[in-house]
Amino acid sequence: MKEFSSGKKGAAIVMHQMFLIMMLCGIYGIGYNLRRHIGGLGILSLFMVIGMVGSFVFLAYLTGVAGRRSEEDATIYLTWIDKIYTDIQMVLFVAFIYLVLFLGRNLHDIQFELSGLMVAVGTVGYLVDVVFLLFYMSIVRRVKNNTLLTHSLIYQAGSFLRRVFISGQNPRLCTRKARERYEIQHAIEKIAAGALDTTLDVEQFHGQERGIAASVNNIRAGLSEAIQERIRNERMKADLITNVSHDIKTPLTSIVNYVDLLKRENLENENARNYIRVLDEKSQRLKQLTEDLVEASKISSGNIQLDMQTIDLVELLYQTGGEFNERFEARGLTIVTKLPHNSVMIRADGRQLYRAIENLYTNAAKYALENTRVYVDLEVEENNAVFRIKNISKNPLPEQGAARKDLTERFVRGEESRTTEGSGLGLSIAKNLTQLMGGEFAILVDGDLFAASITFAVVA
Amino acid sequence: MTILVCDDDKEIVDAIEIYLIQEGYQVVKAYDGEQALDMLRTKKIDLMVIDVMMPKLDGIRATFQARKTSSIPIIILSAKTEDADKILGLNVGADDYVTKPFNPLELVARVKSQLRRYTTLSSTPSGDAVYEAGGLVINDELKKVTVDGEEVKLTPIEYNILLLLMKNKGKVFSISQIYEEIWNEEAIGADNTVAVHIRHIREKIEINPKEPRYLKVVWGVGYKIEAGA
C-alpha cells in the first residue's frame, strides 16, 4: 500500500518551497544584475529555470495527494481550514495578497545589496508560499470533495432563501438545531406509529441533538427487541400447543375407538351403558377441544396463510345458511335472513371467512334459547358491508365490561359453567380470523340479546 | 381381501383390526415402516393403512418406497391436520388421508371406497351420456349415479344439479346460476334452497361431507366439481 503520510507531504512542501525560493532568487537576481549591468546572467537563469521546474513538480505531487491518505483509500479527508466557507476563505486570501503587495511596494523603495535582496525575497516568498499552499491545498481538497461551491456562504444563503420562498418550508426549521429537532420529532412519531425500522443517523446530528438522536435509537432498538421477543414467544406457544395436541391425539384415538367398540358390545347392565355414553360424549368433546385449540393458537399467532380474493358476501351467507338450516331446525330455531338482492363484493379469504361466520352460526345454534328466532342480516353502510347475527341467549350473558370482553378471549363462553359442548374458542377464532383478513369484529350484549357483527370494506 | 395396518401404537392397530374383521377383511399388522415394506414384499396385500409418525421408517417414506413396486390403495393416518401434510402425503403416492383421532366408521368407509375404486377401475362404463370425476360417475342414459361403483340415490333436483356440475367439471356455478339452470326461472332474491340441496348431495356422495372430495364449496363464489378428483 502506497501511503501519503504527513512526513512525505511535509517533505514535498519543503522541497517545493526550496525550489520556489530558488526561482524567486533567480528572477530577482537577474533583475538586479540587469539594472546594474553586471554579468552572471547565465547562472541566475539556470537557477530560475531549475527552481521553476522543481517547484512545479512538487506542487503537482501535492495536488495529487491533497486530502488523501493512501493510494487505496479514495476518501477525501478534510481539515479545519476546509470548514471555512469557500468565499470567506477567498476574501481572506485576497486581503493577504493585498497586504503583501502593499508591503512589497515599500520594499522596492529601499536599495538593497544583492545578498540582502536575496534574503528579503526568500523570506517574503517563503511566507507568501505558506499562505498560498494552505489556500491552494484547501481549494484542491474541496474540488475533490465536490464541495467547492456548495460549501460557501453565498450558496448556503441561496438555498436557505429557496427553501423558505420556493419550497415554502417553515423558516423556523432553517436553523440546523430546529431542523435536527424536527427530524427527531418526526422519527419519534414514526416509531410511535409502529414503524420500528426507523433509525436516525447520529453522525448527522450535532450537540444536544446528537445525544437525543442516540437515545431515540436506543429506545427504538429496545422496543423492536421486545416485540420480536413477543412474536417469538407467541410462536413458541403455538408450536407447543400444536405439538402437545399431536401427542394427545394418539391416545385419544384409542379412547375414541375402544369406547365405540364397547358401545357395540351390547352390554346388559344399564349403568355400564350410561357410563359408556358419558365416556363417548367426553371423548368427542376432548377431540373437538384439541382441534379447536390448534386452530385458535395458529390463528392468534398469525401462523396461517390467507388466499385473499374478491368474493360475494351474499353468496357466502346463502351457502352458510344451507349448511346450517337443519341444525337450527333441530333446536326449534328459525333463521330470519335479510340479505341485499344484489351481490356485495369484498376482499377476503372465502374459506377462512366461512370459518369465522360458521363459528358465529354454531354459537347461535348451541346457545340460543329454544324456539326463538335468529336474525341474520347484511347491510351496506357507507361503503362497508356489515354482517350481523342476533339471538336470544338461553343462559344469562355477562353485562359488564371485563367479563364481556372475555367473550372473545380464548376459553370463555357466554355462561360460567363449562359442562356443555363446545370449547369456548369459537368467538376468539372468529374474531382473530376476521381481523387477520382486515375486517372488524364486534360483539354487543344487551340483556339476553347477543349480537355479533363482522364488517368489511366493499370493493367496487 | 387382505389389508395391511401399520401404526407404532399397538392398540390403534388392534382397534382398526377389529373393525376391518367385522367388515369381513383379513388383516396383517406392522408396527413400523420397515415391517410394512417387508409384508408388502412377502404377502399379497390389497390395501395399506399407514401412520405417518413411526420409528425406523416413517409413513411418508414407506409410502414413497412402496409406490416404486406396488399400485395398491394406500391410506395415510396422521395426527397432523395441516394442509401441507395432506398434500405431502398425497404427493408421495397415498390415495387418501385420515386425521387422528378418526371416526372408525369413516375409516372403514374410506377403506371400502378405495378397494371398490381399485377393483372396478377397469370396468368403468363409458359413453356419450357418462360423466365421471374420479370415483364419481353419472350415467345420464340410465339416470344412475355411482361413487366408487356403489349406487347413490338422489332426488330429481339433486340429480339435475349434480349433472349440471359434472357436465362442466372445474367450472364454478353461483347459487343464482344453478337456480336459473335447474328451475328455469329468474332468481329474484335467492334463498338457501340451492345451498341445502348441495349439502344433501354432499351428504350422499361424500364420505366426509365436511371435507368433500368431489363437490367443493368455493365460499363466496359458488360450487364446483373438482376437475382433478
Domain that includes residue B17, residue range: 2-121
pLDDT tens-digit profile of B166-207?
999 889 999 888 988 888 877 665 577 889 999 999 999 988
Confidence (pLDDT) at A314: 92
Q: Tell which wins on pLDDT, A288 or B76.
A: B76
Look at B221 and A318 and tell me if their CB atoms are within 8 Å: no
Q: Are residues B133 and B80 in the same domain?
A: no
Confidence (pLDDT) at A360: 92
DSSP summary character for residue A446: E
Confidence (pLDDT) at B12: 92
Q: Last residue of some domain: B121, B137, B165?
A: B121
- Residue A385 pairs with which residues in a beta bridge? A380, A456
Look at A350 and B220 and tell me if their CB atoms are within 8 Å: yes
pTM exceeding 0.80: no
Look at A322 and B219 and tell me if their CB atoms are within 8 Å: no
Q: How far is B57 from chain A (nearest CA, A)?
A: 18
DSSP summary character for residue A311: E
* Closest CB to A351 among B18, B102, B219: B219
Confidence (pLDDT) at A346: 93
The CATH number linked to B11 is 3.40.50.2300
Q: Closest by alpha carbon to A401, among A443, A430, A371?
A: A443
State the CB neighbour count (10 A cutoff) for residue B187.
17
Q: Are residues B81 and B192 in the same domain?
A: no
DSSP summary character for residue A3: B
Q: Are residues B150 and B116 in the same domain?
A: no
Q: What is the DSSP secondary-structure string of B78-139?
A: ES---HHHHHHHHHTT-SEEEESSPPHHHHHHHHHHHHHHHHHGGG---STTEEEETTEEEE
Confidence (pLDDT) at A424: 67
Total number of domains in chain A:
2
Residue A187 lies in a domain: no
Q: Last residue of some domain: A103, A131, A154?
A: A154
Domain that includes residue A412, residue range: 309-457
| Reduced DSSP (H G I as helix, E B as strand, rest coil) percent helix, strand, coil of chain B, to 5 | 40, 20, 35
The answer to whether residue A318 neighbours chain B at the CB level (below 8 Å) is yes
Q: Are residues B152 and B220 in the same domain?
A: yes
Distance, in Å, from the CA atom of A266 to the CA atom of B104, rounded to the nearest integer, reads: 18
Q: Last residue of some domain: A154, A175, A210?
A: A154
Distance, in Å, from the CA atom of A342 to the CA atom of A339, rounded to the nearest integer, reads: 9
Q: Are residues B6 and B112 in the same domain?
A: yes
Confidence (pLDDT) at A170: 65
Q: Are residues B17 and B93 in the same domain?
A: yes
Look at B9 and A318 and tell me if their CB atoms are within 8 Å: no
The SS3 of residue A455 is strand
Q: Are residues B63 and B141 in the same domain?
A: no
pLDDT values of chain A reduced to their tens digit, one per residue, 460 residues: 577 788 888 888 888 888 888 888 888 888 777 777 777 778 888 888 888 888 888 888 888 888 888 877 778 888 888 888 888 888 988 898 888 888 777 665 556 677 777 787 788 888 888 888 888 888 888 888 888 888 888 888 888 788 777 766 666 666 777 788 888 888 888 888 888 888 888 888 888 888 888 888 898 889 889 988 988 888 888 888 888 888 888 889 999 999 999 988 888 888 988 999 999 988 888 888 888 888 887 887 777 888 899 999 999 999 998 888 888 888 899 888 888 888 899 999 999 999 999 999 988 988 889 899 999 999 998 889 999 999 998 887 766 554 555 555 544 444 444 434 455 678 888 888 999 999 999 888 888 888 999 999 998 7
Q: Are residues B10 and B110 in the same domain?
A: yes
Q: Are residues B114 and B129 in the same domain?
A: no
**CA of residue B52 relative to chain centroid, distance:** 19
The answer to whether residue A348 neighbours chain B at the CB level (below 8 Å) is yes
Confidence (pLDDT) at A405: 53
Q: Are residues B106 and B209 in the same domain?
A: no
- Which of B58, B100, B103, B200 should one mutate to test binding to chain A, selecting the residue with the greatest count of A CBs within 10 A? B100
In the structure grid, which three cell numbers stand for residue B5, read together? 395396518
The CATH number linked to A341 is 3.30.565.10
Q: Are residues B218 and B133 in the same domain?
A: yes
Query: Which strand (E) or helix (H) includes residue B28?
Result: strand B26-30
Under 8 Å CB-to-CB from B210, ≥6 apart: which residues?
none
User: Helix axis angle, A270-300 relative to A426-436, nearest 10°?
Assistant: 20
Look at A322 and B195 and tell me if their CB atoms are within 8 Å: yes
The answer to whether residue A294 neighbours chain B at the CB level (below 8 Å) is yes
Residue A54 lies in a domain: yes
Q: Closest by alpha carbon to B198, among B172, B189, B117, A91?
A: B172
Confidence (pLDDT) at A162: 80
Q: Tell which wins on pLDDT, A330 or B84.
A: A330
Q: Closest by alpha carbon to A132, among A93, A99, A79?
A: A93
Residue A303 lies in a domain: no
Distance, in Å, from the CA atom of A342 to the CA atom of A348, rounded to the nearest integer, reads: 18
Q: Tell which wins on pLDDT, B144 or A178.
A: B144
Look at B195 and A353 and tell me if their CB atoms are within 8 Å: no
Q: Last residue of some domain: B89, B104, B121?
A: B121
Q: A33-70: buried (b, 16+ CB within 10 Å) or exposed (e) per residue?
A: eeeeeeeeeeebeebbeebbebbeebbebbeebbbbee
Residue A251 lies in a domain: no
Q: Are residues B114 and B6 in the same domain?
A: yes
Look at B188 and A341 and tell me if their CB atoms are within 8 Å: yes
Q: Closest by alpha carbon to B204, among B143, B139, B136, B115?
A: B136
Total number of domains in chain B:
2
Q: How far is A250 from chain B (nearest CA, A)?
A: 7
